[in-house]
Amino acid sequence: MKEEQRLLLLHSSSLFSPPQGVKLSYGTAGFRADASILKSTVHRVGILAALRSLKTQSVVGLMITASHNKVTDNGVKIVDPSGRMLTQEWEPFADQLANAQTPEAFLSLITEFVEKEKIPLDGVQSAEILLGRDTRPSGESLLEAAKQGISSILGAIALDLGILTAPQLHWMVRARNKGMKATEPAYFEQISSSFRCLVDLIPNETKSSKMDNTVVVDGADGVGGEKLEVLKTMLTSLVIEVRNTGKGGGILNDGVGADYVQKEKVVPRGFCSNDVGLRCASLDGDADRLVYFLVPTNSSRKIDLIDGDKILSLFALFIKEQLSILTKKGTENLNNNSHARLGVIQTAYANGASTDYLKQLGLEVIFTPTGVKHLHEKAAQFDIGIYFEANGHGTILFSESWLSWLEARNNELGFASEGSEQQKAALRLLSVSKLINQAVGDALSCLLLVEVVLQHKGWSIHKWNELYQDLPSRQLKVKVVDRTAVATTNAETVAISPPGIQEAIDAETAKYPRGRCFIRPSGTEDVIRVYAEASTQEAADSLAGSVAKIVDRFLGIDFKLSFP
Ligand code: G16
């Protein structure tokens, strides 16, 4: 390493001391903590992002967000050149960097890593990092720390794109590296025009049905509401009413947002009995998650939740239908021999009823640990991979090779029988691949796809909700002294430490008909999460409560049970 580079790194890191007595780790979606202790971490992630850009000789992204966490938290994650999350191979190095206590220890870690990875840190090669942040008040100063980190690598430049949803930044990084336009207007143009194409392809029978084309969206008082206000002006045949836009003084994620709605299953702030019967949806703090809900007809606050599993089921049904039209018998003279491998990816949080439903559709269902980085990797192994977490984070991936086949088939169909049902199916699938974010789960593009699929099928939200009936479930979180004390296996369904805890959970679960329960350490909050399913809501609540007490007995700091 050049002397100039060494001095630059030493000086820059001496300006940002790491927090004392805290061990940070690159969790489910990057580093997250109280914003007041994150400056040095973000500064170091800026350096890491520049190294990643040098190593890959591509543009990478850096996003300042803590998504669903409370407003006083913040976080930082790197977007890889493909638009996906940072490669998991670099996560241990990210942990070491964030926790190095002195500038010298920090420098020696970098020196070793640069040599091992053969990163051209010579000041000749250039690096480029796209920066984005959500609307948290701490975002601006943390972004400055990231910029200072980036500028301490010779040849690295940062491009500040301002306030963005996390999926917008992922989309732009992917687009830049594919040589496409990587701006916010280009993003809006692509998703709105593919939405309009799908609307044009709605069958005449359902086009004439009197379906309500209004959706009311809870923006979580975050970035998603703000962006949706722009997007909605570019759409036809859909009316979007945005609430909790962040402009009315509401606090981000406080009694609002997809995480609150999905976990607590109650009406978010800003919605009331006047909304009974309306199709309502909720985004999370950085607009990468989407859930739908129905306001109750009675005086309780309990909603009917239409979660990520049901969004996945709706999408799977639609894609499967289009594929079967496309490969219909009687068109053998055309190049009809490419049967798409369609796969579905879920996590242990998926409601058991959703998995049964997907299997009944004849789909291959695979389970991974929580975190889209795991689901995305599996989905990418299919021609069409649909992945969703129950919390509403997910997307549909199309492989490049299958899309090339589809383009060719579309041309062929256009030549042989333009306007045929098969050609329309091909065009629909091509439009879906452009509408839905290929880099990461994206609430805005998923919202548009849900809306157009409902219009296509002529379905109300009630009809969609009736696809299957969820098994009653309950999620709780338990504050513990050290969440790393819990380790899991089998896609997080079995706890292998602390010793004896899984046996205690199994003994409790066995008491409940159709009981299922697991625990896992959160990767974004300092808690252990508990998920329970059973044949009745009372039983699911009771199982989750008992297991939370078990966690507390093994590791906790006085768990108090409370249900909304
Ligand atoms: C992040 C990840 C999601 C994950 C969620 C919850 O979401 O992107 O894939 O499901 O954290 O993680 P945990 O249970 O480990 O706290 P977000 O929306 O907060 O970025």
346 conformational bin, left if phi > 0, alpha if psi -120 to 50, beta if neither: beta
CA dist., res. 515 & res. 530, Å (int): 13
End-to-end CA separation in angstroms for the chain:
57
Average pLDDT, the chain: 94
Asked whether 28 lines ligand 1 (CB < 6 A), one says: yes
Residues with Cβ < 8 Å from 122, sequence gap 6 or more?
A: 2, 154
User: What percent of the chain has pLDDT above 70?
Assistant: 97
Residue 102 has pLDDT above 50, yes or no: yes
pLDDT of residue 563: 63
CA dist., res. 105 & res. 392, Å (int): 41
Strand 384-388 vs strand 394-398: parallel, antiparallel, or unpaired?
antiparallel
pLDDT of residue 418: 73
Residue with tokens 């819990």: 486
Residue 286 alpha carbon, nearest atom of ligand 1: 18
For 519-549, write each residue's pLDDT tens digit: 999 988 889 999 999 999 999 999 999 999 9
Nearest CA to ligand 1 atom 5: 371
CB 495 within 8 A of CB 501: yes
* Enclosing H/E stretch for 521: strand 516-521
CA proximity to 481, closest of 23, 65, 142 = 23
For 478-510, write each residue's pLDDT tens digit: 998 889 999 999 999 999 999 999 999 999 999
User: What percent of the chain has pLDDT above 90?
Assistant: 86
CB 391 within 8 A of CB 370: no
Cα-Cα-Cα-Cα torsion 195, 200, 206, 212, nearest 10 degrees, comes to 50
371 C-alpha to center of ligand 1: Å? 6
For 144-194, write each residue's pLDDT tens digit: 999 999 999 999 999 999 999 999 999 999 999 999 999 999 999 999 999
pLDDT of residue 338: 56
Cα-Cα-Cα-Cα torsion 532, 460, 199, 241, nearest 10 degrees, comes to -80
- Based on its alpha-carbon atoms, the radius of gyration of the chain, rounded to whole angstroms, reads 24
Residue 333 has pLDDT above 50, yes or no: no
Asked whether 368 lines ligand 1 (CB < 6 A), one says: no
- Averaged pLDDT, 367-391: 96
Query: What pLDDT band is residue 414 in, cutting at 50, 70 and 90?
Result: confident
Asked whether 67 lines ligand 1 (CB < 6 A), one says: yes
Strand 214-218 vs strand 342-346: parallel, antiparallel, or unpaired?
unpaired
CB 313 within 8 A of CB 387: no
CA distances from 435 to 129, 215, 398, 405, 500 (A): 25, 18, 12, 19, 48
- Averaged pLDDT, 182-211: 92
For the ranges 68-72, 244-248, 329-333, the lowest mean pLDDT is seen at 329-333
CA distances from 43 to 75, 85, 126, 309, 497 (A): 12, 19, 19, 37, 34
For 415-444, write each residue's pLDDT tens digit: 777 788 999 999 999 999 999 999 999 999
Residue 65 alpha carbon, nearest atom of ligand 1: 20
Query: What pLDDT band is residue 334 in, cutting at 50, 70 and 90?
Result: very low
Asked whether 48 lines ligand 1 (CB < 6 A), one says: no
Residue 525 alpha carbon, nearest atom of ligand 1: 16
70 C-alpha to center of ligand 1: Å? 13
| More confidently predicted of 354 and 564 | 354
pTM of the model as a whole: 0.94
Residue 258 alpha carbon, nearest atom of ligand 1: 18
Which residue among 67, 313, 445, 546 is the active-site one? 67
Nearest CA to ligand 1 atom 17: 67
Residue 561 has pLDDT above 80, yes or no: no
pLDDT of residue 212: 85
CA proximity to 279, closest of 291, 293, 268 = 293
- Output the six-digit token pair for 358: 């997907």
Residues with Cβ < 8 Å from 174, sequence gap 6 or more?
A: 81, 82, 83, 438, 439
Query: What pLDDT band is residue 4 in, cutting at 50, 70 and 90?
Result: very high
State yes or no: is 67 an active-site residue.
yes
Asked whether 523 lines ligand 1 (CB < 6 A), one says: yes
322 C-alpha to center of ligand 1: Å? 31
- Averaged pLDDT, 289-310: 95
CB 83 within 8 A of CB 439: yes
Q: How many CB atoms lie within 10 A of CB 316?
A: 23
Residue with tokens 């799977």: 316
Residue 122 has pLDDT above 90, yes or no: no
167 C-alpha to center of ligand 1: Å? 14
3-state SS, residue 164 = coil
Residue 68 alpha carbon, nearest atom of ligand 1: 19
What percent of the residues of the chain are helix, what percent strand, and what percent coil, each to the nearest 5?
45, 20, 35
* Enclosing H/E stretch for 529: strand 527-533
CA dist., res. 301 & res. 296, Å (int): 7
pLDDT of residue 332: 46
Asked whether 257 lines ligand 1 (CB < 6 A), one says: no
CA dist., res. 148 & res. 151, Å (int): 5
- Give all domains of the chain, ordered by start, each with its CATH number: 3-163 (3.40.120.10), 322-442 (3.40.120), 473-555 (3.30.310.50)
229 C-alpha to center of ligand 1: Å? 25
- Averaged pLDDT, 345-353: 97
Beta bridge partners of residue 489, listed in sequence order? 494
3-state SS, residue 533 = strand
Q: In what order do the strands lie in the sheet with 364-367?
A: 364-367, 342-346, 384-388, 394-398
Residue 300 has pLDDT above 60, yes or no: yes
